[in-house]
Amino acid sequence: MIGKKIYKFEKLDSTNDYASKIAKESAEGTVVIADCQSKGKGTPGKTWFSPEGGIWLSVILKPKSASCISLMASVAVYETLKSLKLPVRIKWPNDVMIKNKKISGVLTEAHGKNNAIVGIGINLNIPEFPNELKSVATSAMLERGKAFNKQKVINILIKQLEKKYSLLKKKKEKLLKEWKKYANIIGKQIKINISGELVEGKVKDIDDNGALMVEMAGGKVKKITTGTISAEL
């Protein structure tokens, strides 16, 4: 059960790093939360701005397969923020956006044989971003001009994670369907940056592992597992 055991800290380097240290001896569903992180992590080589006011948490999961764990978490974040009436959408693979600015990111890291650490960052009560993030990041507070009750939002998020993780295990196709609806990308022409190479094509579908199936100009379908969508045309 997610959230049965919760470790709370005022400050950690990274909730993902702490969670991976305790993963082996912890029960599935254990949650690690910090009010702020001094070395918040994004995908390899990237940092995550994590001041007080945001939700920075990691969940220890022990799935049979790590496939679609991040996708599952992005659907849970989407539902959480939607319940606050924020106009969110999912951006492939697992960012949650308001217009073209990111309000939440997910980082899943495998640890040991069957531990997956799911790190979730939500910009909740963050009044201001540093200059380099101003054009790419937003917060619930900036969007709505008011602060939200952080504990309430954490409770909603944990309930949603419980629900969507169980859906992933029992009815994966239903979870994928929800993701497709919230990302609204199937059929769209996109430009995607894959390790520096810009690829353009039409999104046909996502496969069972959350990979993007993109039809190239010549009609060939390419399976894309990592990359950054730079434009939806």
- Judged by the rule CB under 6 A, the positions of this chain that interact with ligand BT5 are 14-16, 37, 40-43, 46, 48-50, 56-58, 95, 102, 105-107, 119-121, 123, 133, 136-137
Closest distance between ligand BT5 and the C-beta of residue 42, in Å? 3
Closest distance between ligand BT5 and the C-beta of residue 219, in Å? 31
Q: Which two tokens stand for residue 200?
A: 């353009």
**Cα separations (Å) of 212 from 187, 207, 222?**
12, 7, 8
107 vs 175, beta carbon nearer ligand BT5: 107
69 vs 221, beta carbon nearer ligand BT5: 69
35 vs 200, beta carbon nearer ligand BT5: 35
Q: Which residue of this chain has its Cβ atom nearest to ligand BT5 in the complex?
A: 105
Yes or no: say if 124 and 149 are a contact pair by the CB < 8 Å rule: no
11 vs 177, beta carbon nearer ligand BT5: 11
Yes or no: say if 120 and 157 are a contact pair by the CB < 8 Å rule: yes
205, with CB counted inside 10 A (0-12, 13-18, 19+), is middle
Place of tokens 């009010």: 35
